[in-house]
Amino acid sequence: MPSPPAAPVRRSRAAGTGLALALLLVLAAFALPVLLDWETWSRASRSAHPWAAPPLHGFWEPKLVGPGTAPTLLVALLGWAWFPRFAASASWGRLLAVSYVLALAWMLSLALVDGPEGISRVLDHSSEYLPSAREVDDVPEMLRTYIDRIPYSHPDNWPTQAAGHPPLALLFFVGLVRVGLGGSLAAGLVVTVVGATTVVSVLALVRSLGAERLARDAAPFLVLSPAAVFMAVSADAVFAAVLAAGLALLARAAVSTGRAWLPWSVGAGLVLGSGVLLSYGMGLMGLVALAVLLAARSWRPLPVVVAAALVPVLLMALAGFAWWEAYPVLTERYWEGIAADRPAWYWMWGNLAALAVSAGPLVGAGLAHAARRARRSPDGRPDQRPEARPDTRIVALLVLGAVLAVLVADLSRMSKSEVERIWLPFIPFLTLAVALLPSGWRRWGLALQIVWAVLVQHLLYTSW
């Protein structure tokens, strides 16, 4: 009998290498600052807080159990033992509904390991949006003076989060305050409920592009991602949800026939343009948007999407906030603050370690495996192996877009530290790489991701 082809072994070997590298990167990022007495200024000086835990913005605070531990373990068991089979066979509508409910339960149960404070404490911090939102009583005036209040030199300068983002992020919380949801617990619940929609949008996007099989394979990893530790009550979860929704609309626009593509394109542009007004860095999601169009093999929506995306940006400029004027001012403030003390030689790779903590180490295996599968044959022709099929190409392009966005963000040095939450919008698209792993890897790999999330939540105070 002929021996089986060696390719699957090599692919598994690539995945194993990727997993090992991700784990070594995380270990080095945590251990070397302690062993070599490096000052990374991830949260504060280690002399001020000896249990600081770079590369994360937080510190070590192990806890055996908390109020949310039992629900977390219940969701984890249900998600590992039952959900993959359900995701493979359920109707599409039921899969989306259950994915949303399970993702929300996962986020809330992990946050509640720290009790109700796990949901409320972050948003009530003086550097966050909510305290600033409660003080806003004149929105037009706020917009007219927004840029003036970014520099440290202004006597009434914005706190960190409001200064570091365009005003739509703050306006979201102003809206919550105006409708009676301005308490930290209520606002935290709203943020978590919105953030959980990210999974639904990403699944819908992948299916629209024609890769339903891989969307189903990816669903358990998107739902039970370790990023849930940082998604719950982080405003960046809202940013992730908005951008994912915009990209899902873009996918529909790209594959629609007849005249339907036009309204989908307008909707995608409006949502994606609003995303840029939530966070300066979300312009990098344009790389994922290009990947969506490449995967769909259609550039028809692009002009309409770009024109529609400019609408919210220009309307905000007419109201007093010009994105292109604000960004240079923010850059000056950024380098006047703690960013100047954070050593680039550590954070250029420490950021990637923080990303691995948030996304989970199996994503490293998925990325390495995807890179291996994308390799062309030695004679330069496209790979003709059975797995080199259209749905694989679609997912690989989406993953590549997210990888490029992360690399640009890292090289810009505008994201030194705190990327475990800042890069949350990129993580679902990186996680899609896990769907390309062999089925055996996915089974135990899902358990690894779940255990990783539980350990991060129980060992660390993550500041988010």
For 417-461, the pLDDT digits (tens) are 999 999 999 999 999 999 999 999 999 999 999 999 999 999 999
- The stretch 316-344 carries a mean pLDDT of 94
Alpha-carbon distance of 208 to 84, in angstroms, equals 21
Place of tokens 């009530």: 124
Q: Which residue has the higher pLDDT, 216 or 37?
A: 216
Question: In this model, does residue 9 exceed pLDDT 60?
Answer: no
Please tell me the distance from the alpha carbon of residue 424 to that of residue 283, in angstroms, as a whole number. Answer: 14
What's the confidence (pLDDT) of residue 2?
Answer: 39
Q: Report the distance separating Cα 195 and Cα 163, nearest Å.
A: 22
Residue labelled with tokens 């001020």: 48
How large a percentage of the chain has pLDDT more than 70? 92
Helix spans in 125-196 (H):
129-135, 139-145, 160-163, 167-178, 184-195
- Give dist(CA 21, CA 26) in Å, integer: 9
What's the mean pLDDT in 260-277? Answer: 98
Residue type, position 428, single letter? P
- Of 34 and 386, more confident: 34
State pLDDT tens for residues 106-116.
999 999 999 99
Q: Is 90 exceeded by the pLDDT of residue 462?
A: no
Torsion sign across C-alpha atoms 85, 88, 94, 95: positive
Q: Which of the four pLDDT bands, split at 50, 70 and 90, describes residue 11?
A: very low
* 78 compared with 381, residue with greater pLDDT: 78
Assess whether pLDDT exceeds 70 at residue 238.
Answer: yes
pLDDT of residue 376: 47
State yes or no: pLDDT of 266 exceeds 50.
yes
DSSP 425: G
Degrees to nearest 5, angle at CA 262 with 261 and 267? 100
What's residue 47's pLDDT? 53
Nearest to 71 by CA among 277, 228, 273: 228
Instruction: Say yes or no to pLDDT of 124 above 80.
Output: yes
- The predicted structure's pLDDT at residue 375: 63
Do the beta carbons of residue 202 and residue 248 sit within 8 Å?
yes
Output the pLDDT for position 372. 83
Dump pLDDT digits (tens) for 373-429.
766 444 444 444 444 578 999 999 999 999 999 999 999 999 889 999 999 999 999
pLDDT band at residue 46, thresholds of 50, 70 and 90?
Answer: low
Tokens of 115: 């009790």
pTM: 0.94
Angle, CA 26 vertex, CA 339 and CA 188 arms, to 5°: 65
